[in-house]
A and B are shown apart, each in its own frame.
Chain A
Amino acid sequence: MSMSFSEKVIQKCIVAFLIILSVIALIPLLSVLSVSFSSRVPVELNQVTIWPKGFTLDSWKYVLDRPDLWRSFGVTAIATIVGTVLSLLITALLAYPLTKKEFTIGKVVMLAAVITMVFKAPLIPYFLTMKNIGLYDNPLVLVIPHILTAYNLIIMRTFFLEFPSELEEAAVVEGAGYFRLLFNIVLPLSKAVLATLGLFYAVTIWNQFQHPLMFIQNPDWYPLQIKIRQFITSDNELQIVGNMSQLNYSARTLRAVTIVFAIVPILMIYPYLQKYFTKGAMLGSVKG
């Protein structure tokens, strides 16, 4: 491909612009990371930008010694693992029949699913329904509302539809029923879509804020996001420790630690799943 001189210049400019943009996108993360490892005084003297000043682990020690934070972490971790497995299971169990023409109510079910994408129930009737079925102040509320979305259902169904039918037919000849077809033939070969939707579900459950804000009253069941929010906004307790001048940390460095603390697990699973999710996100776009 030959390009004229001016085009080469334009292209170079675009690449440079994108590199600068990527750096800008990462600077906030680097900034909060370096504050979390910096001592109190340089932070207060505006000396910390994207590199720690007066490297110290004191803030981290203080935060990581808090049992309530670890409890929230545990609540969120368990909800995420249980919720992701359950979500994938129930989504697959509904998506699979939708690929079979013997499943005579399939069209109605698809329509009903798509309608939920256009018409969302107002918040209050939703809240009251959840309360009526016993999910108020119940840790299950961290999992159950996220089990299924029409969008993910459509992605999974589209993936199953592209599945070569010969494999299933061979198994049917050997007397396999629908359950064995799904669990022994289809799902083992659907790792790409399971990884993608698994990531989507896991991130949704890990990051959820509105549901626990509305439904969880008991502090024992606060998930991580609620806990972090409390640290960020009403940090009276942190302010008191932070203002004692002999300490090497401040409210701000402690806040930075809690933020980084909540990001780390997401960033740790991200590289493993990255190769899958672009494909999955594209699958979703086919339907639009």
Chain B
Amino acid sequence: MQATGRFYHHARKCWPLYLMALPGLVFFIVLRYIPLGGSIIAFQDYSLFKGIADSPWVGLKHFKILFDSPDFYRIFANTLILGFLKVVVIFPVPLILALMINEVRAVLLKKGIQTALYIPHFLSWVIIAGIAFDMFSLNGIFNTVRDWFGYGPNLIMQDERYFRWIYVFTSIWREAGWGTIIYLAAISAMDPQIYESATIDGASRMKQIRHITLPLLLPTALVLFLINLGSFLDLGFDQVFTLLTPMTFSVGDIIDTYVYRSGIQEARYSFATAVGLFQAIIGFVLVYVFNRISKKVTGGGLW
């Protein structure tokens, strides 16, 4: 009796809160959790007409097909290589940039530099890729400048040797400036007294960066690094899809574009889901392992 009474009282007072939350909750359930559960079609021969309930179960069949296909290893290797470049080459750039921007004392100049570096973040990958294709076209600015120095034209967008570097440079161009925001915020939150006393003790700017700023930025960088690892294999469909050409397919085709092709275009639903699940599991294991390592080494981690 008392419990129902309390429930009644709570409901009468707080129902607006639940009503408010309803649209957002429905969104999470329908668009995030139901698809997550729908992953079980990786273990079926899913057919659109039969649905999940009536499609036959086939166990690990699609995973076997996956691991037996030579295509898959090429695509997996491409994904790993780009993921590796993302974590090792692209990830540190915002940190270095933030340390440099922090050395700019003139406020207007600092703002100008930041604005110039932020802008590409707001352009879509379709646009970024469009600009890249234009710059590296036969008459584009890249080949025009080559021409000044007497070099012949070079179509690097169509050359598989350069695809990975194009991926790296477009990533840095679009995201590195934006990525400095968090580091600059962390730097500005630091206690100026530490720097003052360091200056009095005779520490040079470079020493201050090495012994104060960097160590203080490390926890932020670590959290970002772990988040980055979690999306290690999540390279950005839009970016790779828009930068790919038939000539760069052999090095640029990744899991995301492979899933799109086999799943959406060829309607191999169960197979493509198996590929997606494989990708998700590897990603999760990576975060888990590195979180453990990080906790052991530094005492801090994501959870």
Query: Judging by beta carbons under 8 Å apart, are A102 and B17 in contact?
Result: yes
Contact with B along A137-156 (1 / 0, CB 8 A): 00000001101100001000
- Given known pairs A29-B119, A288-B224, the reply for A109 and B126 (CB within 8 Å) is no
Q: Among A57-65, A158-166, A262-270, which stretch is in contact with chain B?
A: A262-270
Residues of B within 8 A of A94 (CB): 20-21, 23-25
Contact with B along A1-29 (1 / 0, CB 8 A): 10110010011001101110111011111
Is B201 engaged at the interface, CB distance under 8 Å to the other chain?
Answer: no
Question: Which single residue of chain A is at the shortest CB-CB distance from B101?
Answer: A18
Interface residue from B16, B41, B48, B124 paired with A179 (Cβ < 8 Å): B16
Q: Interface residue tally of chain A, by bracket?
A: 35 or more
A26 to B135, CA, bound (A): 12
Query: Judging by beta carbons under 8 Å apart, are B220 and A285 in contact?
Result: yes
Residues of B within 8 A of A122 (CB): 35, 39, 42, 259, 272-273, 275-277, 279-280
Is B14 engaged at the interface, CB distance under 8 Å to the other chain?
Answer: yes
Residues of B within 8 A of A144 (CB): 31
Question: Which single residue of chain A is at the shortest CB-CB distance from B288?
Answer: A118
Interface residue from A109, A210, A259 paired with B25 (Cβ < 8 Å): A109
A116 to B37, CA, bound (A): 12
Contact residues of A: prevailing secondary structure: helix
Chain B nearest CB, measured from A190 CB (Å)? 15
A203 to B121, CA, bound (A): 10
Interface residue from A18, A100, A258, A281 paired with B100 (Cβ < 8 Å): A18
Contact with A along B115-138 (1 / 0, CB 8 A): 111111011111101111111010
Chain B residues with CB under 8 Å of chain A are 10, 13-14, 16-18, 20-21, 23-25, 27-28, 30-39, 41-42, 48, 100-101, 103-104, 109, 112-113, 115-120, 122-127, 129-135, 137, 139-141, 143-145, 147, 173, 177-178, 181-182, 185-186, 199, 204-206, 220, 223-224, 227, 230, 234, 237-238, 241-242, 256, 259-260, 263-264, 269, 272-273, 275-277, 279-280, 284, 287, 302
Rank and list the top 3 A-B pairs by shortest CB-CB distance, nearest first.
Answer: A122-B276, A125-B38, A94-B24
Chain A residues with CB under 8 Å of chain B are 1, 3-4, 7, 10-11, 14-15, 17-19, 21-23, 25-29, 31-32, 35, 43-50, 90-91, 93-94, 96-98, 100, 102-105, 109, 112-113, 116, 118-130, 133, 144-145, 147-148, 153, 177-179, 182, 203, 206-210, 213-214, 225, 228-229, 232, 252, 255-256, 258-259, 262-263, 266-267, 270, 274, 278, 281-282, 285, 288
